[in-house]
Structure 1
Amino acid sequence: MPALTHILQSLTEDDYPGIGRYVWRPEGGRREWSQGLIRLYGRIEAPRCEAEFMACVHPDDRLRVEGETEAFLTGDANSYTRSFRIVRPDRSVRYVIDRARIERDAQGCVTGIFGLNMDVTDLPEMTKSGVDAETEIVGGRADDMSRVLPDRERFDFGQRTSGLALADIDYQAGTVSLDAVGAQLYGFGKGPVTVSRDEIHVRFHPDDRERLAKEISLSLDPSDGGTLDTEHRIVLPDGTQRWLRVQKRIDFATADRKRRPDRGILAALDITERKESELRLRNSEERLLLAQKAAGIGVWDVDLENKQTVWSEGLYDLMQIERGTPPSPDLFFKYVHPDDEPGLRDAFNCAIRDVSSFKSDFRVVLPDGTLRYFVGQGTVTSEHEGYARRIVGVNYDVTDLKTAEVRLRESEAQLRLILDETAGIVGILDVDGTLREANRAALEAGDITREDVIGMPLWDASWWLHDPDEVARVKDAVARAAAGETVRYDAQIAAGGGRLRTIDFNLSPVRNANGEVTLLVPSALDITERKQAETRLARIIREGLVRIA
């Protein structure tokens, strides 16, 4: 297997969490840490000197680590592997494996150390062996390299458990030597194996082969730097598909005055789970965008500290503003109706000041002059020491709802006007008998107001309360009408001043397109005078008959 540092130089820590690289020039005291290593140590920046680095090492390990370092610098070894604990700024302890290549000048002095740290805290077998090794080494001599260097098996175990596959490529022989992880990843069994390059290439997914052929051809061109960094799919003999992140470095040899690919180092990682997660996320985002578009919703996010604003595509579309236009709260307020802008701005600023939320109805005048009704709401999602740092929210177009509400109010007003102009008594009931509407004639007949009766069961209205029998008859009529029957009878209602009026009462069901009863319409005519006339006429007839007799 090639020198590990060559492989590590081609790795991207963002794709391999818990791994970080460093370069140390002891003569000048200069240390260069990758971002991955800085994250591994929980720091904001790399240590500026050896003393600052040693402060990161666990107090119980410092003496040993200092002795090991002295041995590396004064000895003649060209590489080392060791393990120790570090203490992060948050006081958490992590177990680390440190492996590096040492470069020396002609006099044997160290000119550079190129290394890698791997966090193995979450690998119980490795942390235990690391502790055991450390306990044994503490009592050893600092110049005893055979005792200072822990067993390489621990690093190999870390490589296997991380899923990192390594391989040597012999371009002259056309072969690829895979380690055990690589052999299993590419479907060649469980142990190290050497196969032809063609056997690797045939596993490339058909849809990726053309692209990979171009990328590989460029990487084999000495003028292109001899590196490859790509993601692609492979298809195993059993039909299983995997996504791989592959990075490769190529060494060139000169023959006949031409530089040709000689050997290469390959690192591959199975990223199938990550790709599937990305696909699920992308599909979810697409569904969310579709739902937002269908619902007329736009999302916004304001970073108050960095004064950066993000709008969703849906918000750009709602506002009829070209996507990509630099967003900001002021740009949005520019299109808010002048009468609504002060109130909305005040609600927005109050939410920021009070580290709270807001919700507001307002109108927007779009660039083409169209007036739209919006609802906006937002909430502070990040704060520090009582000051808002971030506020996010949504705006949604409710113009259709507002228009429907206006039309409904207009329709209700027209209906009330029609009912009020009707001479007879007319109302509208829910199926359960709740009074939703009563015209002016009905209210005047009982000398009552809308507030006295709207929203209550019809039989509880004052028209009927003078007689329990009338109440019972109304309840029965509602039940029959709700079942689909038209009910009609003469009834007496209480009018103002304690007077009783006789009405011709009618209760009719209203059906929808499916034949279901959805409303009941009570109506009545005041027949008091007619009934009185009928009574007088009957009395006169009876009296006349008596005289004739």
Structure 2
Amino acid sequence: MQRLAWPDGRSSMTAIIRTHSWRLTPLGAPENWPPALKTAVDIALQSRQPAFVCWGKALTTLYNDAAIAELGTRHPAALGRPYAEIWADRWDDFAGVVDAVLAGEPQHVVMQRSRPSGGEPLTWHTFSWLPLRDDKGQIAGFLCQATESNLSLGDEQLRMVVDSASDAISLFDLTTRKYIYLNPACSALTGFTRDEIIKMPVDEVIARIHPDDLDQPGVAPGAPFPPASQIEYRWQTKSGEYRWLSVRRQTVPDAQGNPVAVVSINRDITASKQAEEALRDSEERLALAMESGEMGAWEWDVVNNKAVWNPKLFELFGLPKESEAGYDAFFKIVHPDDYQALEDSLRAVLADGTHWKAEFRVIHTGGIIRWLVVRGKLERTLDGKPSIMFGVNYDITEQKRAEDELRASQTRLALAMQSAQMGHWEWDIAGDKALRSPEIYEMLGEPPIVGLDAQDTFMRHVHPDDVAIVSETVGEVLKTGRDWKAEFRIIRTDGEERWLAGLGRLVRDYNGRPITMFGVNYDITEQKRAEAELKTSETRYRLLHENLRDGFVETDMEGRFIACNDIYCDMVGYSREELYGLTYQELTPERWHAAEQIIVDQEILVRGYSSVYEKEYRRKDGAIINVEIRAVLTRDDNGTPAAMWALVRDITERKEDDARLQALKEQLMHVGRVNELSQVSAGIAHELNQPLAAMHNYAATARRLIDRGDQNSINAAQHAIAKAGEQAARAGEIVRRMRDFVEKRDTNQKRDDINAIIQEAADLGLIGAKAEGIETHFCLASNLPAVIADRVQIEQVLVNLLHNAMDAMADVPKRVLTLSSWLNGTMVEVIVSDTGHGIPEPVLDRLFHPFVTTKANGMGIGLAISKSIMEAHGGDITAEPRQGGGTLFRLRLPAAPSL
């Protein structure tokens, strides 16, 4: 690493620089200085002329002994301070020079050097500013050196310097009231030649001053003004444009001290004034935004990592106001996809910057994503370390959506421009001469006019009926300056009428006079035809709207009616005028409000439409009707929900029909159960006969034993009576099952054990099976989940299948009936299989249709009822041939959720 080659100790500044606390400045320790800086400091310290070295963004300043006289009382505090702070009182003179040298342009300026104690000028110096570059070739500072010139006021060299100055310098004779000297910059600033200004009367010079600026003292040439004054005003140049001037004036006295002339240094500050005005506007908008609470403001103590947020910022971040503000809380809600980039941008500002600007997303509670902008300003300590950062955040979600829509629109526009036939034109307004591209002449159906005479009038091709409209729109453009847009007809050479669209933009001269308009034309004939067809379609739509079979209704987002057809009015019993003063909630019984609001929030607002749902309306006469609704959301051009419309169907009669149908189905099921019992009546009679006969025998035995009278006989009689009671209970159980099976009642589905249902159905359905020589097997899986079922209805299905199986095996040698249960995924399956004749294939496909049967005397309704019952339970029933002969019926029921 290069070390500083400090000059010998004879230089006082060498010693001062050696002992200065550089670690507290942006330059840091001298041993870490870049070679270019060290070399520049060496050169400055060894120079006998005043020399300054300024380095880094802050332009930290070092200087030699000769520069102390230039600094005066600024020394020694100037060492290590920013250049702009040292010369704050003369920065207007230096700012432009410094900007130029940092842009890579060496600067040379002649200045008068005064004695440190004041008095007469000592010498004239030429100050040279030279750019200094770092190791990467980037400009990192400058070296300023002074060279004694020994010029006097009348020297030709000084005249050359004044003539080459960028500011406009003039000398005004107070006696003749004429300008006697003007440097070339005066012509560049005003637009007038030197001779024109010298010959210009003072009254004209004053007349070109902006009226609002004339009340300042010393504005007019030759008017009294404070010594060495500086004023700002607007002056009209030769082009008619007002420019802002910063004018510094100094009187020139004669030998007696009387003022005889005025020296003026004029600098154009129009750009800075415009920037100030823009800044004021920006600050006013910022103040209004902050006052109206549209921005979230914050301040962050970087050193202690403490932050303060205003209430709006908590809202933007989607956090409760009682939350803790700070760096960690902020980054917790940043979208994961934006986290790293946002953190990197902040770290970059903390490392080597002052302004922070970024766009990012935050995630609110509930998963809502919003786009925000952050703007921050970092303040640093004197040694350049981050201290306090403050700034604002504001929501740009809608802007982002608009940008997405704009990109999509631009893509569509690009595609349209590629596919569209557009013609270009330019119109000379004063001469009414239009230059048109060949594409436009193709639209006109005539050959293009080419060559130097390729000019046309603007209105020549416009349809006579549209001339007035086009003229009116063009006149509005010439008056307001807005872009031109019009649609009009043309008459082609072949007589065909076509529709064109025109887009144009106005161009004005420097005085604001319209001179030219240029733009494009494109054919919209097909579009106009489509619009005409659309109008016809809309007429048809209105006719359809009024003649719909269903009611049509439209409401705003608060539920107020805004449109409906006659069907809807008839349905609810209100007129249109009455409905327009109501909401759909007022027509809906209160018990439906909560459920319907869920449909609006979770279906209509989320996906744009609802599933078909049912609810009730209360008609004007108080009657309740059942309706079926399908609702759709409509949005405005910004994508905001604007209204809801729906098709409404009165299903009151259908609901009544469904209720009657359900009653008929239940009656049919009851008939089916009675029919099942009638088919096994002989077996039931036999089953009942056994306990009844046993009861008779036990009763007779007990009577005989009681007649004997001894104690043993009485004890035996008691036992016989108890046995008779058991047989009576057995007969009663058989009768109870029969009564429950045939009882007509409402459906009652609840959690139940499928194996218990199978056993109870077998007890009833297999009565007489042994007498028929049927061998029965049970293969029931253990630990099966419960099912949600109506026990009697499922038993009815199983009893029907058991009777069918017994009938199918009536005349076969092998008679085996098997009942199985098992879990298949989420469904509980019950299988009834037999070894009977089986079902013919043509019948198998229609087996569950009503009135289809393989029995000679069968009704054909048992299996149809069974299928209806299974589907009502959310399951199904199927039949298939059994391997080895016979039929296998498979019942499937959903397993109930675990408790």
TM-score (normalizing by structure 1)? 0.35
Normalised TM-score (structure 2): 0.23
Instruction: Mark the structure with the bigger radius of gyration.
Output: 2
Structure with more relative contact order (C-alpha pairs < 8 Å, separation 6 or more): 1
